[in-house]
Amino acid sequence: MSGGMKDLEEKIGKVPLIFRELEKTDPELYEKVLGLDQMVWKDGALSRQTKKIIAIAIAAALRDEHAVSAQMAGAKKLGVRKEEIEEALRVAFLLAGMPAYVYGKSKLDELMG
């Protein structure tokens, strides 16, 4: 696994298969995507932890199982508390409806107890 891939794994918890494939099949695009990823996830006006919480809520609203699992794994590594994610899922519920909350909550309980 390349250095960039290891950094990505530390940030998001689980590297999507598409990134591993992209590194081999289209190295130029891989480098550009990785650069954008690094820019987005670095601490700025929002901390990486806050960005993870937002990402989990969005992924839950979209009911993207892989993204929810990957983002929760990364959030756990960053020390994000279960209660913080629960609160974000309530916001997703308010804006995206009950399915988003139920989906995110079941994944939260499964992955973070």
pTM of the predicted model as reported, rounded to 2 decimal places: 0.79
Which 8-state DSSP code applies to residue 70? Answer: H
Domains of the chain, with CATH numbers?
1-42 (no CATH), 45-113 (1.20.1290.10)
Which 8-state DSSP code applies to residue 61? Answer: H
**Pick from 83, 25, 85: which is nearest to 55 by CA?**
85
Please tell me the distance from the alpha carbon of residue 37 to that of residue 105, in angstroms, as a whole number. Answer: 26
Please tell me the distance from the alpha carbon of residue 26 to that of residue 19, in angstroms, as a whole number. Answer: 10
What pLDDT does 96 receive?
A: 86
**Pick from 12, 37, 13, 33: which is nearest to 21 by CA?**
33
Bigger pLDDT: 51 or 95?
51
12 pLDDT exceeds 70?
no
87 pLDDT exceeds 70?
yes
Provide mean pLDDT across the span 12-36: 83
Spatial CB neighbours of 3, under 8 Å, sequence gap ≥ 6 = none
Please tell me the distance from the alpha carbon of residue 100 to that of residue 55, in angstroms, as a whole number. Answer: 13
Contact 104, 56 (CB under 8 A): yes
37 pLDDT exceeds 60?
yes
64-84 per-position pLDDT tens digit: 988 898 899 889 989 999 999
18 pLDDT exceeds 60?
yes
